[in-house]
């Protein structure tokens, strides 16, 4: 008995284990909540790398503009009268020149930030993550987040990045050790050029390293996201029931629809002129009104139990029943309820109706 109970509990545990990939519906719901696979390091690393690349690309342009600003100030602006109007003109000119210098960097940074985010999650604008959630200021929840596995992984990533970047800086500076020691005997302009080239080289190298690490971080975030979205077999079944409807309820609805359709059909049986039977398996109710119909019409039909009910209703309402096996089978198979009798069955049906009218005294 205990072994059976233990097996039952084990099966229950496995039924709740999240082993199934997320359905499209759950992915869509998670996306609406802002739950997507995204590495925050990738945009930052991309911005860092391409910022230094931009400095390399536009360095001569920026240097020329800066030299122009200083030359203009020393040659022209220092000689001007100190009036409010002159100061405003000088301030406006320096602001415009500064924006021109920074414009390529700014535009490139905005473009790279957009591309880095779009490549990860596409276009997404949602407001739910911005809503106030009191559990975020709950001390207990905050304590759990601080000492969670995710926090530990983030700490390891940060430590790894610092070690790799530190090693890259160390090797770069040690490679330039001789020139660094000789800067004291180098002209100031050459010193600035050397320091700028080393700084830009380090920036590009560190940016490239961070992008590689960010790609691995994105892969990890993708894995964690897929893991968090996994569903149990019961979850999949429950979602299917919610989206498609409970099969039991749908079955009851269909049964109710069939019952209502049969009731409507049985209400038409008393209006029939004749019921043609198999005699036990099929029953077909025919009606013909010369003023409204071009041919006799099937107003009810059924097999087995339904055929029996049709005959009972016909008997209760005095509708004549005639046995004609071939005709009953042919009409049941070829004609739907509400349709007229096809031409190939006209002769046989006409003979039946003529006999019925004769029995009822409807013929002259």
HSE-CB of 294 using CA atoms within 13 angstroms: 5
Q: 266 - beta bridge partners?
A: none
- The answer on pLDDT for 36 being more than 70 is yes
Residues 6+ apart with CB under 8 A from 46: 112, 113, 115, 116, 207, 211, 214
Q: What is the mean pLDDT of residues 170-199?
A: 80
pLDDT for residue 125: 65
Tokens of residue 189, six digits: 């302009």
- The answer on pLDDT for 312 being more than 70 is yes
Q: What percent of the chain stands above pLDDT 70?
A: 85
pLDDT for residue 132: 58
pTM: 0.51
Local structure of 283: helix, strand or coil: strand
Local structure of 348: helix, strand or coil: helix
Q: What is the mean pLDDT of the chain?
A: 78
- Binned at pLDDT 50, 70 and 90, residue 363 comes out as very low
pLDDT tens by residue, 277-309: 887 788 888 888 877 777 888 888 888 888 888
Q: What is the mean pLDDT of residues 127-151?
A: 59
**Nearest-CA neighbor of 275 among 305, 304, 307?**
307
- The answer on pLDDT for 338 being more than 50 is yes
Residues 6+ apart with CB under 8 A from 230: 18, 19, 20, 21, 22
pLDDT for residue 12: 45
Residue predicted with more confidence, 37 or 12:
37
pLDDT for residue 148: 67
- Binned at pLDDT 50, 70 and 90, residue 13 comes out as very low
Query: Measured between alpha carbons, how far is 315 from 270 in angstroms, rounded to an integer?
Result: 9
**Nearest-CA neighbor of 210 among 51, 100, 28, 66?**
51
Q: Which of 201-210, 231-240, 328-337 has the lowest mean pLDDT?
A: 231-240
Domain extents in the chain: 38-123+140-230, 261-360
pLDDT tens by residue, 240-278: 777 665 666 677 777 787 778 788 888 888 888 888 888
With contact defined as beta carbons under 8 Å apart, do 35 and 124 qualify? Answer: no
- How would CATH label the architecture of 261-360? 3-Layer(aba) Sandwich (3.40)
Query: Measured between alpha carbons, how far is 101 from 20 in angstroms, rounded to an integer?
Result: 54
Q: What is the DSSP annotation of 302-360?
A: EETHHHHHHHHHHHHTT--EEE-HHHHHHHHHH--TTPBPPGGGHHHHHHHHHHHHHHH
The DSSP letter of residue 76 is T
The burial of 94, by beta-carbon neighbours within 10 Å (0-12 exposed, 13-18 middle, 19 or more buried), is given as middle
Query: Measured between alpha carbons, how far is 331 from 323 in angstroms, rounded to an integer?
Result: 13
Neighbour tally for 323: CB within 10 Å: 12
Q: Which of 30-44, 141-155, 206-220 has the lowest mean pLDDT?
A: 141-155
Local structure of 25: helix, strand or coil: helix
With contact defined as beta carbons under 8 Å apart, do 310 and 329 qualify? Answer: no
- Binned at pLDDT 50, 70 and 90, residue 126 comes out as low
Q: Which helix (H) or strand (E) holds 278?
A: none
> CA–CA distance from 224 to each of 24, 38, 117, 156, 227 (Å)?
17, 10, 18, 16, 5
pLDDT tens by residue, 58-110: 877 887 888 888 887 777 777 777 778 778 888 888 888 888 888 888 888 88
pLDDT for residue 245: 59
What are the start-end ranges of the E strands in 114-153?
none
């Amino acid at each position: 008995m205990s072994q059976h109970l233990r097996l039952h509990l084990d099966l229950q545990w496995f039924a709740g284990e999240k082993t199934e990939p997320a359905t499209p519906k759950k992915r869509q719901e998670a996306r609406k909540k802002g739950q997507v696979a995204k590495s925050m390091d990738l945009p930052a690393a991309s911005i860092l790398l391409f910022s230094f690349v931009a400095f390399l690309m536009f360095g001569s342009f920026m240097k020329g503009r800066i030299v122009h600003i200083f030359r203009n100030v020393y040659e022209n602006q220092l000689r001007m009268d100190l009036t409010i109007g002159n100061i405003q003109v000088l301030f406006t000119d320096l602001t415009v020149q500064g924006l021109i210098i920074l414009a390529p960097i700014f535009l490139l940074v905005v473009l790279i930030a957009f591309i880095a985010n779009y490549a990860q999650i596409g276009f997404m604008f949602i407001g739910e993550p911005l809503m106030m959630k009191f559990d975020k200021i709950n001390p207990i929840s905050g304590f759990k987040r601080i000492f969670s596995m995710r926090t530990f992984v983030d700490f390891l990533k940060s430590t790894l990045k610092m070690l790799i970047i530190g090693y890259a800086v160390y090797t770069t500076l040690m490679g330039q050790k001789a020139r660094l020691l000789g800067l004291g005997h180098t002209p100031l302009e050459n010193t600035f050029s050397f320091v700028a080239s080393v700084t830009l080289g380090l920036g590009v190298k560190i940016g490239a390293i961070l992008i590689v690490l960010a790609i691995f971080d994105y892969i990890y975030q993708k894995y964690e996201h897929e893991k968090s979205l996994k569903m149990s077999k019961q979850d999949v079944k429950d979602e299917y029931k919610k989206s498609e409807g409970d099969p039991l309820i749908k079955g009851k609805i269909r049964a109710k629809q069939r019952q209502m359709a049969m009731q409507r059909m049985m209400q038409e049986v008393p209006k029939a002129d004749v019921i043609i039977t198999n005699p036990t398996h099929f029953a077909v109710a025919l009606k013909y009104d010369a003023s409204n119909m071009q041919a006799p019409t099937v107003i009810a039909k059924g097999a087995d139990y339904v055929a029996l009910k049709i005959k009972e209703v016909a008997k209760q309402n005095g509708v004549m029943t005639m046995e004609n096996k071939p005709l009953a089978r042919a009409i049941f198979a070829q004609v739907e309820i509400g349709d007229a009798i096809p031409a190939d069955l006209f002769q046989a049906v006409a003979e039946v109706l003529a006999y019925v009218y004769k029995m009822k005294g409807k013929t002259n």
